[in-house]
Structure 1
C-alpha cells in the first residue's frame, strides 16, 4: 500500500495558512482584551443581535434629540442676548427722554431716539448663520429692513403733517400696515420657529420681530426720532409732545418686554432639562449595550495566552522542519 504525503510546496502553503489563522485569532482576541468588546458580534451573541440593534437605535435617537436641543439652546441664548440689547436701548432712551423733558433739550432727545431705533432694529436682525432669529420660520435673511430704510419710508408718509397728533396717527397707520408700512418692512414669516426636543415636546425657539411688544418699542423710538426731524420741522410744543409720548410708551412697555424675556428664559430651562435628560438616556442605553457586547476578560486573557503559545510552537516547529535535510540525516 502506498502512502501519499505532502510535497514541500504544499507543506509550505499549509504552514502559512495555519500561521495566518492563528495570528488572525490572536489579533481578534487581543483587541477584545484591550477594548472589552467582542470583535464578532454575531458569534458573540449566537446570532441574537436584535437587542443590540434596539439599543443602538435608542442611543442614536437620544443623541439626535440631544443635538436638536443643543441647537435650540444656542438659538435661544442668542435671542435672549438680543432682547437684552433691546431692553438696554429702551431703558437708556427712557432715561434720556426724562432728562430732555426736564431740560427742554429736544434735539438731543430726538437724536437719542433715532440711535435707539437703529439699535433695536439691529438687535432684531440678529442672525444665526443666514437665518434671522426674529423672522419666525423664514430662512435666508434678516427679520426687518434696515433702520434707515424704515425711517425713510415712515417720513415719506408724513408729508404735510404739522402736529404731534398727526405724527402719532401716521405712525399708528404705518406700524399697523400689513401689505405696506411695517408689513413690508417685516421680512419674516407669520409662524413661530419651533424645534422638537423630545418625541412629544416642541419648544418655541424665538420671538418674531412683529410681536406687538417689539413693534410697540420700535414705534415709541420712532416717535421720539421724529420729534426734531428737520424734514417735519415741528414747532417746539408739538415736538415736546412727541417726546413725552415716546417716553410714556417706553415706560408702559417695560413690563411686556420683561414678560417676553421671561418666556425665552422658560424655553431655555426646558431645553436645558431636555439636554440633560437625553444625555442621561444615551449614557444609560450605551452602558446596557456595552454589557451585551462585552467579553469575559479572564476567559479572553486565557485564550490570548493559549494562542500565543500555539503561535510560538508553530514557529518553532516550522524552524525545525525547515532545517531538516537528507545530508544532515546521513551524517
Structure 2
C-alpha cells in the first residue's frame, strides 16, 4: 500500500493553524468564565434573536414609562405644594375679613393691603415654574399662566366701574372671573395637558391649570378685598366693610373646592406611584431574564476551558517534538 506522508512545511502549517484556533478558543472560554456571558450570543441562540428583541422592546417601553411617571409625579407634587400654599394664604386672612363689617376704616385699609399682598403671592404660586416648566399652564409649559397683580386689579376696576355697593362690586368681580373675556382672556396658559401614559394601558390625568374653578374662585376672594386698597367704594366705610366681609365669605366657601382638588390630584399621585412600583418590578424581572439568556453555565464553561487548555498543551508537545526532528534523531 502506498504511504502518503505530510511534508515538514505542510505539517508546520497545520500545527500553526491548530494552535491559533485553540488559542482563540481558550481566549473565548476564558472570557466566558470571567464574565459569565456567552462570547458569541448569536451562536448560543442559534440565530434566533426574537426572545431577546422582545425583551429589549419591553425594556424600552418601560424606560419611556419611567420618564413619564417621573415627570407626572414631579408636576403633581409641585401643584399640591402650590395649592397648599394658596389655602394657607386664604386661611390666614379669611377669619379677619369676616369680622371686617365692624372694623374701623384704618383696620379695613390694613386688611385691604394685606389682601393685595396675598393676591400677589397667590398669583406667584400659580405661576410656579420647575425645571423651566410652568405647572399650571397646561400645554403652554413655557409661559406662566397669570399676569401681574396690578394688571388684574386694573381689569377688575374697569369691570366694577360705577358700582356703588359691596354687592355690586362682588357681582362684578365674580362675573369677571367667570367670563371668557375676563379672567379667560387674562389667563396666558394653554389647554389642559393630555393624559400621560404611565404603564401599559394606563394614563395619569395631569390636566389642572390656573383656570380650575377652585383656583379661580380663590383668586376672586383675594381680589375683592384687594380692590379696597385700589380705592374702590372710597368714602363709604360701611360698604367697604361689607366688601371685605364678602371677600372673607368667598375665601371660606372655596375651601372645600381646594380640598377636593387636592384630593383629586392626590389620587393621581397614588396611581403614579403604584405604576412606578409595578414598572420597576417588571424592569427588574426582564433584566434578570435578559441576563439569563446571555449567561453561560459556569461549570460547563470551566470544564470546556480545561479541555481546550489540555488540547493546546498536547499540541505544544507535538509541535516541540516536530521542531526537534533531524536526520541524526531519525537514524538514532
TM-score (norm 1): 0.85
Contact 1:125 1:142 in 2 (8 A): yes
1:226–1:319 distance in 2 versus 1, CA, 3 Å: farther
1:29-74 Cα shifts (integer Å, max 9, x gaps): 2332233222212211222322222222222222322332222111
For residues 62-101 of structure 1, what are the structure 2 equivalents within 5 Å?
Answer: 62-98=62-98, 100=100
Which range is displaced more, 107-116 or 226-235?
A: 226-235
In angstroms, what is the RMSD of aligned CA positions? 3.1
For residues 196-235 of structure 1, what are the structure 2 equivalents within 5 Å?
Answer: 196-230=197-231, 233-235=234-236
1:31–1:87 distance in 2 versus 1, CA, 3 Å: farther
**Distance in 2 between residues matched to 1:255 and 1:61, nearest whole Å:** 39
1:66–1:2 distance in 2 versus 1, CA, 3 Å: closer
The equivalent residue for 1:152 is 154
The equivalent residue for 1:46 is 46
Please state whether the residue corresponding to 2:146 is helix, strand or coil.
coil
Structure 1 stretches lacking a partner, 5+ long: none
For residues 256-271 of structure 1, what are the structure 2 equivalents within 5 Å?
Answer: 256-271=257-272
The equivalent residue for 1:134 is 136
Contact 1:206 1:264 in 2 (8 A): no
Contact 1:130 1:140 in 2 (8 A): yes
**Distance in 2 between residues matched to 1:190 and 1:198, nearest whole Å:** 24
Report how far residue 279 of structure 1 moved.
1.0
Report how far residue 102 of structure 1 moved.
5.7
Contact 1:132 1:139 in 2 (8 A): yes
1:313–1:230 distance in 2 versus 1, CA, 3 Å: farther
Please state whether the residue corresponding to 2:188 is helix, strand or coil.
coil
Which range is displaced more, 309-318 or 31-40?
A: 309-318
1:188–1:13 distance in 2 versus 1, CA, 3 Å: farther
Please state whether the residue corresponding to 1:196 is helix, strand or coil.
strand
Report how far residue 260 of structure 1 moved.
0.4
Contact 1:223 1:243 in 2 (8 A): yes
Contact 1:117 1:147 in 2 (8 A): yes
TM-score (norm 2): 0.85
1:69-121 Cα shifts (integer Å, max 9, x gaps): 22211111111111111111111121442465564310111112111111111
1:88–1:133 distance in 2 versus 1, CA, 3 Å: same
**Distance in 2 between residues matched to 1:120 and 1:282, nearest whole Å:** 41
Please state whether the residue corresponding to 2:197 is helix, strand or coil.
strand
Structure 2 stretches lacking a partner, 5+ long: none
1:286-309 Cα shifts (integer Å, max 9, x gaps): 222333322111010122333445
Report how far residue 321 of structure 1 moved.
7.7
